[in-house]
A and B are shown apart, each in its own frame.
Chain A
Amino acid sequence: DVKVTQSSRYLVKRTGEKVFLECVQDMDHENMFWYRQDPGLGLRLIYFSYDVKMKEKGDIPEGYSVSREKKERFSLILESASTNQTSMYLCASSLPYPNEQFFGPGTRLTVL
């Protein structure tokens, strides 16, 4: 079974802090994705990566950056957290084909 893990289930940070969210997958998947999910807005893609050290912007990259130094690990960085970044953050991974995405348990981030 594919396993995707995320570093924290719940996180509370203060405005202006730098926040690191980490995602690790154990199935040697090339593709990794970061989404945020908000009520009424659905899943929105922040960044994705097709390979180590490669990254591409998704639909809402502003205020975020990512790092992929190893194939199994994909980190999301909030450079200076703001209250409008309070959300559920979901990491997913997939093979190039079939491109079924498997999600981690999510991190519920609250920025005060």
Chain B
Amino acid sequence: QKEVEQNSGPLSVPEGAIASLNCTYSDRGSQSFFWYRQYSGKSPELIMSIYSNGDKEDGRFTAQLNKASQYVSLLIRDSQPSDSATYLCALGGLTGGGNKLTFGTGTQLKVEL
């Protein structure tokens, strides 16, 4: 089992809809959770960090963490074509991992007009 699992997609949503991106992980020692957005040909950009159970909102983005069920989600409200990108889930504080992050392979999101 991979340490971080994401559905590769593509996930297609119409403009204005809510996009829901999910990530599951295997290491219960994970302490920090991140979502990165990566446009084609560009580098990953940090968009959300979450460290405790529950929801964290920032503008149109909401990160949800459930440590008991070992998943972290990213909701994008009022999706725009400019949200079309690959979203990477990353975990920190894995057992023996030190300051490293472990990345999923990403979910491609397509927001259609």
A residues adjacent to B (C-beta < 8 A): 31, 33, 40-43, 45, 48, 50, 58, 90, 94, 96, 98-106
Contact (Cβ within 8 A) A103 B101: no
Among A50, A90, A94, A99, which residue has its beta carbon within 8 angstroms of that of B44?
A: A90
Among A42, A50, A100, A106, which residue has its beta carbon within 8 angstroms of that of B49?
A: A100
Number of interface residues of B (CB under 8 A): 21
Among A41, A50, A106, which residue has its beta carbon within 8 angstroms of that of B43?
A: A106
Task: Report if B76 contacts A (CB, 8 A).
Answer: no
Partner-contacting stretch, out of B14-22, B58-66, B103-111 = B103-111
Number of A-B contacts (CB under 8 A): 47
Task: Report if B34 contacts A (CB, 8 A).
Answer: yes
Known: A98-B49, A105-B43, A106-B43. A48 touches B100 (CB 8 A): yes
Q: What is the predominant secondary structure among interface residues of chain A facing chain B?
A: loop
Question: Chain A residues with Cβ under 8 A from B101's Cβ?
Answer: 99, 101
Contact (Cβ within 8 A) A40 B45: no
| 6 contacts across the A-B interface (CB closer than 8 A) | A40-B105, A42-B88, A50-B98, A100-B46, A101-B46, A103-B43
Known: A31-B99, A42-B105, A94-B99. A100 touches B34 (CB 8 A): yes
